[in-house]
Structures are given as structure tokens and as C-alpha cells.
Structure 1
Amino acid sequence: MKTIKLTASLVVFVVSLMAYQDTFGEQKYNPYSGQWETTNPDSELQYNPYAGQWRYSAPDSSPKYNPYENRWDMAPDSYEHRYNPYENEWETTSPNSELQYNPYEGKWQYAPEGQSPEYNPYSGSWEYPE
């Protein structure tokens, strides 16, 4: 009986740990830029023909023009342009993003609610997953 309880407790712990890890970013290597990017776990490497670059983006992303910054960003259709008054720039961001301060980099950025900056050991910087 103790073995069953111990096994059940271990299974619950492992499942909880897996669910906990999925809420955070991870490092993925971009062989086209030679850089490690802080991304969401479901991000895919995609080519933006207008910007001429490969980047990790949400699976349903496509090139989206940001007229305020005169650039093409990879983003899902639901993303919108929002002004960041602290950095004096327009960001293409998800509708549920909030303006958050990154104390490690001293910058403000839109990031999904509840997300924290992740340390990228390859670049030595703290980044919000994209």
C-alpha cells in the first residue's frame, strides 16, 4: 500500500513539474544567425522574407508590417502594435501582454502577463521569451 501511495505521489510531482516548466521560456539555437534565442517552448524557426532573417516565432506567425517602426515582424494575426513610452518605440505584441520592467537590463518591454525575464547564458542577457 505504501508503494502505491509513493508511486502516485511521485507521478503527481513529475506531472506538476512538467506543467511548471512549460510556462517558462527556453533557449533555442538559431543556426542562421548563430545566436541562442530566448523563446516560448512552442516557438518554431521561421523565415521572414521581408526582413531577410530567420527567427523563432509562434507557430501561426506570418510577416506583419509595423508601420510605426518601418519594419516587418513575425507575429500571429491576433498580435497588435502597441506603443512603449519608456523606450519610445512601437512593439508588435500579443493582446494579453503588459508593459513590464526588466530590472536586469533596465528596459521596459511588452510581455505576456505573468512572464519573467529569463537568463540567456549564451548572450549574458536577461530576456522575455518571444
Structure 2
Amino acid sequence: MADADAAAPTDEERERLAGALRRHVADGRLDLAEFEVRVARVYGAATRAAARAALDGLPPLDASPSRPAARRKRTRHGEAVRIEPHWVATGEVFRDPSSGRVMRVWVDPTDGSRHYGQADGH
């Protein structure tokens, strides 16, 4: 387990995962009894990996912007301004042909969206 996965989830991460579970209830993929079991796992989890496991067996949610697009830091297409702590690093690493930087692919387990950030740090 990576160090980030072994860390305790933050309150914000727990809320984001619980929100994803609520969306699955609203979309009819979970009944209330299963929701209660899974959300209890999120809030009782000692590690980020255990908290994310509450979404096991559920499809990724469609990514929807949480706030309107404002002026953002200039980045390459698909590059994240910052790597969020709940994102999971994949084994996919590549060199950006235009900047020469080594990039890693990260996945948001709450919605399945993919993000790109420098491989050597957040």
C-alpha cells in the first residue's frame, strides 16, 4: 500500500466519498440499507484505501465540474493544477513531448476521472 493510501482520510475526502455514494443512491444503484453500510465504512475507515473501498463494485460517476470555470493556472491540456490527496496514482507515466516533463496519470476514485501531474511530486 502506498504511503498516501495508508494515511487517514481527511474530512473533505470522507465527505466527497459519501457524496459519491449519495449520487449512486439517487441514480438507483444502491438502496438505503446498502448506502448506510457503505457510508459507515467511509466514516469508520482508518486509511484512505479503506475509505475508497466503500465504492468497490460501483461504476465511476460522470465527472461534473464542482464550480464554474474561472481563470485557472495555465497548464497543458489535461494537466492538474494540483494533485488532490484522494487521487490514486496509476502505473502510467509518460514524458510530455512539448515540455519534456515526466508526468503521471492519477484517477479520482469518486468519479473515475483521469488527471495528469508531474511524476516527481504534487
**Shared fold per TM-score greater than 0.5:** no
Normalization by structure 2: what TM-score? 0.27
Normalization by structure 1: what TM-score? 0.26
Higher helix proportion: 2
* Bigger-Rg structure (1/2): 1
The answer to which structure, 1 or 2, has the higher relative contact order (CA under 8 A, 6+ apart) is 2
